[in-house]
Amino acid sequence: MKRIVLFASGSGSNVENIIRYFHGKRNSVDVAAVLTNKRGSKVLDRCNNLNINGLYFNRNAFYETDCVLDILKALKPDLIILAGFLWKMPKKIIQNFPDKIVNIHPALLPKYGGKGMYGNHVHQAVKDNQETETGITIHYVNESYDEGASIFQAKTIISSDDSVEDIAKKVHTLEYEHFPKVIEKLLSSPETAEKEVPTPPKEG
């Protein structure tokens, strides 16, 4: 059985979507735990409702000690999934889980990536620059924000009439549709998932 661990900083809607996707596939994929850096986060309520182990950690446990790293080593995940997780992964975790940490970004990287580019900050920038399309990028995690190798991208058309909220809804639809499927393909055959990566859009 394959095992995944999820990290989240927000309400956990992507986390719940992923858990429910694999709920009927427990013979093949086990969601071992959900970790969050937000005390009292709604994602922990979702975990309780779905009977999934939910754990909170603080900045010291993440960066200054091996607490979170030791938890991950004990869980032995085949993939670590960042589903709306905003902190940069420490070098020690990346080194212990090479090519096993995957993030989803709400834009077509390399555009609109980097520190501080998350959620509505991204969607506002997309609107301000009068883009005609946006989307999602699922990518491996390295030591720099949003610079890991791309695994999968999906696009959606946007218009000048779309509000930031409209753009967010379109991007969330792509996240819910594609993220669990890409995770499943990576667990079964990373090479197959990577072959589906379209050419990233050029900047400018």
Residue 79 in contact with residue 100, Cβ under 8 Å? yes
pTM surpassing 0.85? yes
Coil, strand or helix at 108: coil
- Tell me: the pLDDT tens digits for 95-140? 999 999 999 999 999 999 998 999 999 999 999 999 999 999 999 9
Contacts of 201 (CB under 8 A, 6+ apart): 108, 111
- Give yes or no: 105 in active site: yes
Coil, strand or helix at 145: coil
Catalytic residue among 105, 121, 172, 178: 105
- Tell me: the pLDDT tens digits for 13-25? 999 999 999 987 7
CATH number of this structure's domain 105-136+154-204, picked from the four choices 1.10.540.10, 3.10.180.10, 3.40.50.170, 3.20.20.105: 3.40.50.170
Which H/E stretch holds residue 167? helix 164-188
Please, what CATH class does the domain formed by 1-98 belong to?
A: alpha beta
Where exactly does CATH 3.40.50.170 map onto the chain? 1-98, 105-136+154-204
